[in-house]
Amino acid sequence: MKILVPVKRVVDYNVRIRVKGDGSGVELANVKMSVNPFDEIAIEEAVRLKEKGIATEVVAVSIGVPQAKETLRTVLAMGTDRAIFVEATTDVNVDIEPLAVAKLLAKVIEDEKPNLVIAGKQAIDNDMNATGQMLAALLGWGQATFASSVEIEGDSATVSREVDGGLQTIRVKLPAIITSDLRLNEPRYVALPNIMKAKKKPLEERKASDLGVDITPRLKVIRTAEPPQRQAGVKVSSVDELVSKLKNEAGVI
Amino acid sequence: MSVLLLAEVANGHLVTDTVAKALSAVKALGDVTVLVATQNGTEAAAEAAKLEGVSKVLLADDASLAHELAEPVAALIVSLASGYSHIAAGSTAFSKNVLPRVAALLDVMILSDVTAVKDAETFDRPVYAGNAIQTVQSSDPVKVFTIRTAAFSAVGEGGSASVDNVSVPADPGLSSWVEDKAVESERPELTAAKNIVSGGRGVGSKENFDTIAKLADKLNAAIGASRAAVDAGYAPNDWQVGQTGKIVAPDLYIAVGISGAIQHLAGMKDSRVIVAINKDEDAPIFQVADYGLVGDLFTILPELTAKL
């Protein structure tokens, strides 16, 4: 079984993002970038399925700026067999929309013919939570989103999903799209020898313009603003003072 | 212009709060038709018909819709989509699963977690876990979006819309339901809790989280944790509050032994009142806290628990 995992290069989750003064976006120059954390979980799941002998090959795909090739090297070091990079822009300030990403992935999937796609449930930059669902729609495949456990049995996957107030288990026919939630697994740390080995793994480069997909944005970002800022409050000196403030000033207890 | 609003239904009833808030977000856009897609949905449809500002309720009642599976629900919405300028729903696990699929089938983009409807094509939505707010304009013929309901007040009752039954397309049969497991906990769910007590690395061990639990019991609060506490193995990862965990906005958030990493702040900074308890007086958490108390959590927490 071949598994394909889309990965996105995003601002590292530990970076305090800065909104540009002119409202044109978020400062992305000279900012630490990493693999989108949910995609890292997706890669981990795919690699574990390979280690269990269920998957035979794990292929990662990233779409975006050329720097995303570094992101692909990271996931190759995690145990991905090979990677495909699709250049869709050279401008780091351009975010390729989920619909366009899904269309490009659908093209790659036509050639690669994986039995399963595991994607992160959302990217922590645009927070759209859409690419997996859109890809499933375009391919006419079933979808199991927000997965917290995955069991492959024959030609179906049994997936436990994080829904409001609990878990829902569904069975989805393969090929299918699964999107990973936080509880699915804890991604491994990458050891140095694997980083060295990853440099020799195959990384194919393609261009979005060669895939015959219209990726013209549907959304225009008019303005990016800071959210209302919280002001620091007061320091209290005792538990009694805290209780009194919570009761009488804040009215929350 | 007209809106098709997908209703949230649970156990045969309308999730009124979610639907009433979503209605208030979309009512300025045109006539609103509410779609109830479930099995045995007569009661839920009647509940929807009573809400203010509903012009019509469509009831799609079919066994294939009983478990909110994405493929049959999306196929149903697409079969009804013609004529609507907007297709929306309150942002829930259900709508986030279904509406992006609908959008792709209609060849349009999705807008997730809309916090303000500026006009028929312009919306505000948070990005970077709420650390920036984008105003976006859609050029798509149909706008498909989910609504962050916390940003809107609920409409009242007093409506008397008609309920029409609609036919349901054949189930694509791509997935099937196995079981639902409600979280068995005396505590409220993290994202719905009025009060939350969260622990960080400063709590020191899994056993020490009992101190957090005692305070949470007293406040009928949910328990949260920082990513550092989860990574250290002190707390399970479904307790994680932060950019990669749950985004919460309770009335009261008590952060205990949490330094206030950016990743954590992104998940809780919209709480109404934030209390920070930390032994390091320079911890960044104090910059967002309404009330800060510097000291040893192992003496402060028992005292606080006793005095509440």
State the pLDDT at residue B276: 98
Of A11, A131, A142, which is closest to B174 when you measure between CB atoms? A142
Range of the domain at B98: 2-165
Of A158, A234, A250, which is closest to B178 when you measure between CB atoms? A158
Give the CB-side neighbour count of residue A177, counting CA atoms within 13 A: 29
Q: Is residue B73 domain-shared with residue B214, that is, in the same domain?
A: no
Range of the domain at A10: 2-227
**What pLDDT, in 10s, does the model give residues B22-46?**
999 999 999 999 999 999 999 999 9
Confidence of residue B62 (pLDDT cuts 50, 70, 90): very high
Q: pLDDT above 70 covers what percent of chain B?
A: 100
The tally of domains found in chain A comes to 1
Give how far Cα A251 sits from Cα of A4, A246, B273, Å. 52, 6, 9
B132, amino acid identity: A
Q: Is residue B174 included in any domain, yes or no?
A: no
Chain A residues touching residue B192 (CB < 8 angstroms): 165
Cβ B127–A253 below 8 Å, yes or no? Answer: no
Q: Is residue B74 domain-shared with residue B211, that is, in the same domain?
A: no
Give per-10-residue mean pLDDT for chain A (253 aa).
98 94 94 97 98 98 98 98 98 96 98 98 97 98 98 97 91 98 93 95 97 96 92 95 96 90
d(CA B261, CA B256): 13
Q: Please choose, from the candidates A99, A101, A127, the residue with its C-alpha nearest in 3D space to the C-alpha of residue A13.
A: A127
**What pLDDT, in 10s, does the model give residues B246-276?**
889 999 999 999 999 988 998 999 899 999 9
B127 touches chain A (CB under 8 A): yes
Which tokens is A43 given? 């890669």
d(CA A247, CA B275): 13
**E strand or H helix at B277:** strand B273-278
CA distance A123 to chain B (A): 9
Q: Return residues 66-95 of B near A (CB < 8 Å).
A: 67-71, 74, 92-94
Could you tell me how many residues make up chain A?
253
d(CA B51, CA A238): 48
Question: By the 8 A CB rule, do B87 and B6 touch?
Answer: yes
State the pLDDT at residue B243: 85
Cβ B132–A142 below 8 Å, yes or no? Answer: no
The tally of domains found in chain B comes to 2
Alpha helices, DSSP H, located in chain A: 37-51, 68-77, 98-112, 131-139, 192-198, 239-244
B249, amino acid identity: A
Map residue B296 onto helix, strand or coil. coil
Cβ A164–B110 below 8 Å, yes or no? Answer: no
B100 touches chain A (CB under 8 A): yes
Q: Is residue A232 included in any domain, yes or no?
A: no
Q: Is residue B156 domain-shared with residue B283, that is, in the same domain?
A: no
State the pLDDT at residue B146: 98
Q: Please choose, from the candidates A111, A114, A68, the residue with its C-alpha nearest in 3D space to the C-alpha of residue A88.
A: A68
Cβ B219–A182 below 8 Å, yes or no? Answer: no
C-alpha of A234 from chain center: 38
Confidence of residue B237 (pLDDT cuts 50, 70, 90): confident
Question: By the 8 A CB rule, do B132 and A21 touch?
Answer: no
d(CA B288, CA A229): 9
Q: Is the pLDDT of residue B150 over 90?
A: no
Q: Is residue B157 domain-shared with residue B244, that is, in the same domain?
A: no
State the pLDDT at residue B151: 86
The response to whether B137 counts as a known ligand-binding position is no
Cβ B100–A226 below 8 Å, yes or no? Answer: no
**What pLDDT, in 10s, does the model give residues B171-190?**
999 999 999 998 777 888 88
The response to whether B241 counts as a known ligand-binding position is yes
CATH number of residue B46's parent domain: 3.40.50.620
State the pLDDT at residue A154: 93
CATH number of residue B287's parent domain: 3.40.50.1220
CATH number of residue A11's parent domain: 3.40.50.620
Q: What is the ipTM of this complex?
A: 0.95
